[in-house]
Structure formats: C-alpha cells, structure tokens
Amino acid sequence: MDNDTILDSFILLGFSDRPRLEKILFVVVTIFYAVTLAGNITIIILSRIDPQLDAPLYFFLTQLSFLDLCFTTSCIPQMLANLWGPDKTISFLGCATQLYIFLGLGAAECVLLLAVAFDRYVAVCRPLHYAAVMHPRLCQTLAFLVWTSGILGTLVHSPTTMKLPFCRHHRVDDFVCEVPALIRLACGDTQVSELQTSVIGAVFLMGPLLLILVSYGRIARAVLAMRSRQGRSKAFHTCSSRRAVVFLFYCSVTAVYIQHRSHFSQKGGKFLTLFYTVVTPRSTPSSAL
C-alpha cells in the first residue's frame, strides 16, 4: 500500500464466489448462534439464582459462558451480514475493533480452559483437599489472570497486525478480521508478524494445551484406580466429552494460527474459522459440566 493511500475499509470476501453456499451457511450459523445465546445466558442465570451451583466449577463455567457470549457476538453478527447480502464491506476501525476483541477473547478462552482443567484435576486427584485448594480467592485470582492474559495478548499482537502494509485491493479472504487473513493481505514483508503469530500461538495455544493434556492424563490414571465400576464409567464418559471439545477447539484454532501462510489452505481455513467461532463456543460450556 502506498504511503499516500488511506485505507478506510476492507472487503470480507467469505464465500462470495458461492452464493448458494452462503445462504445455507447463513441458516446454519443463525441456528448455532441462537443456541449459543440461549444456552450461555441460561447457564449464567442459573448459576446466579441457584445457591447449589456456588462452587468453583460453576464459577469458571459462568466465566466461560460470558466469555463465549462476548466472543461469538464480536464476530457472528458481522459474519451473518456478510453471508446474507452483497455488501461485504467493513470499515478499518470496525475491522481493528473486531480484531482486538476477537483475539483478546480467544486468548482468554484458551487460558480459561486450562483453569477448568486444573479445577477438575484437583477435584478428581485431590478430592480431600479440593475445598482448601479451590477457595474463592484462588478462583478470583485465576479469573483475573484469564482476562489479563487476553488483554495483554491482543495488545501485543493486534497493533502490529493493523500496521502491516496492506495491498490496495483491501480484499480479506475470510469472514472476519483475524490475524492470518490480514497477514495474507499484506504486500510487504510479513516475517516479523508471522514470527509473532507463532510465538503468541505457542504461548496461548500450545502451552495451555500441553498442560491440559497432562492434567487429563493424571485424571485418567486416577479414574482407572477407582474401585467402583459405575463411578469409573461415569467419570470416563464425562471426561471424554470434555476432552473431545477441548481437542477440537485447540486443533482448529492451531491449524489457522500456527501454519505459515504459504502452506495455508484458504478454503479450509475459512471452514475452520466457522468451526471454532460457531460450533465449539456452543459446546465448550456444556462439556465442562
């Protein structure tokens, strides 16, 4: 982009070359978004009015539901407008705002899933010490760290991305303004941005994922040591569904953010974006129960 060129908007292409697919996706995304709103709002209300849900797990579940509401609302309304009509323009300020919120909430969710895994590890592997370890002050501290990590993550990465030398056609081959799509739009050197993306991805994706896998590995070992066959079966069923959702969320996000843009499948990347912004937010809170 030339120095005298003022970039005031972007065009989010989505699947503009396949209008019939866009109409189908509009219906699917609308349904998933409605279910996400209803489910997460219900969880938040119940956790507030039911005193029996005043436990660390439900504290984190409320945080996760609120985070998912914000995460999906930061991108899905724009995505629906993109899928429905011919106007696929988003202002530069709107794109920057979406990127800051989207990236910050995504980073916070990765850390929050780690906090939920730690809570389950203590509950299963240290049940006699659960009340002493997971006291309200620790839960509040972990929640503070979750939101702080999201803010720091987006403040480190988003400004660098929005300062890239974008091409004059300003066509973003995606539904939302996210880092990989904006890097592909740049016409200049993007090595620093790509390296930064890999580092941020390692910190907020691979780091928490490895710790989550370690915690669930220890949970599995503790469950196998249970004498009650019924209790062992119930614990495995619950942990399996939770592990599956966490695995799908991390794998889809990692596939989008870790790969180098020259090896990145643009069509596949857009479907992965749909998956981790639409499907996994609906599934993650319920899987934590």
SS (H, E, C) 135-175: CHHHHHHHHHHHHHHHHHHHHHHHHHHHCCCECCCCEECCC
The pLDDT-based confidence of 83 (bands split at 50, 70, 90) is confident
pLDDT score recorded for residue 263? 46
Per residue in 267-288, pLDDT (tens digit) is: 566 777 777 788 766 555 555 5
For residue 4, being part of any structural domain is answered with: no
Q: Longest Cα pair distance anywhere in the chain, in angstroms?
A: 73
DSSP line for 209-274? HHHHHHHHHHHHHHHHT-S-HHHHHHHHHHHHHHHHHHHHHHHHHHHHHTS-GGG--HHHHHHHHH
CB 168 within 8 A of CB 1: yes
Q: Is residue 283 part of a domain?
A: yes
Do the domain assignments include residue 2?
no
Average pLDDT over residues 73-91: 87
Query: pLDDT tens-digit profile of 176-219?
Result: 888 888 888 888 878 888 888 888 878 888 888 889 889 888 88
**Count of domains for the chain:** 1
Average pLDDT over residues 129-157: 90
Task: Confirm whether 5 is domain-assigned.
Answer: no
Arithmetic mean of pLDDT, 109-115: 89
Examine residue 83 and state whether it is found in any structural domain, yes or no: yes
- Per-residue pLDDT averaged across 257-271, rounded? 60
* pLDDT mean over 93-121: 90
- Write out the residue range of the structural domain in which residue 67 sits: 10-163+171-287
Tokens 């219900």: give the residue: 42
Strand pairing class (89-91; 9-12): antiparallel
- Secondary structure, 3-state, 52-101: HHCCHHHHHHHHHHHHHHHHHHCCHHHHHHHHHCCCCEEEHHHHHHHHHH
Residue 3 forms part of a structural domain: no
* CATH code, domain with 123: 1.20.1070.10
pLDDT value of position 262: 45
